[in-house]
Structure formats: C-alpha cells, structure tokens
Amino acid sequence: MWDARRNRGEETVTCIACGESVGRSEAREYDKYGDRWDREGKAFEHLCKTCYRELCHQPRAELEALLVESGAGDAREAFLARYGALVEEEYGPLEEHEP
C-alpha cells in the first residue's frame, strides 16, 4: 500500500545548495515554506545529503518570508540592501558585533 518511495525509480535531482546532481535516493526534500509534510500541489527542491547535514535544523518561521520579500536570488547587492532594511524595520537597528 505505501510503496510509493520505493517505486520512484532513480531520477536525478540537483542540490539547490551546491549544484551537484545526485540520485533522488541520495537527496533530501526541501520545502522553502518549512512544511514538507503537506504535500498536496507541491514541487519540492532537493539537497544532497552532505548539504542537508550542514543545514541548521532550528525553526525558521519568519526567515523564509523575509528572504522572499527581500528578493533572495536577485542581484547580491540589491538583495542585501533590501534584507538589511527589512531586518532593521522589523527588529530594530543592526549592530556590529566584535567576535
């Protein structure tokens, strides 16, 4: 009844972090909205197992929306400027921290 995972075949997916092409069985699904269990109508992106292990697995409730609003994936300088402005607007002034 629940053999869907074994019947997927060995399709190839591309890791969104490093760009490596790996077999689907060697990858992990990534849902940018943080809800990979609600599968209806979704197309998942993938991470290779190495990149998946390196992720922070802490809750990210507001992060994804902030990245989307900031234009993540656009030109780096424009994205960073929008991201900084939105973070400052939402959480207050950014401060430099000495290591």
Q: Which amino acid, residue 24?
A: R
Q: How many CB atoms lie within 10 A of CB 27?
A: 24
SS3 42: coil
What is the value of pTM for the model shown? 0.48
Show the DSSP H helices in the chain as ranges.
49-54, 63-70, 76-91
CA 14 to chain centroid: 13
Alpha carbon of residue 77 to chain centroid: 20
**Model confidence at 87: pLDDT above 80:** yes
Kindly report the backbone phi and psi dihedral angles of residue 34, in degrees, each rounded to the nearest multiple of 5, phi listed first: 75, 15
Residue 3: what pLDDT? 46
Q: Percentage of residues in the chain with pLDDT exceeding 90?
A: 22
Average of per-residue pLDDT values in the chain: 80
Place of tokens 């424009």: 78
Domain layout of the chain by residue ranges: 6-54, 58-93
What are the pLDDT digits (tens) for 34-56?
666 777 877 788 999 999 888 87
Predicted pLDDT of residue 55: 80
Q: Is residue 98 predicted with pLDDT exceeding 60?
A: no
Model confidence band, residue 66 (pLDDT cutoffs 50, 70, 90)? confident
R_g over Cα of the chain: 17
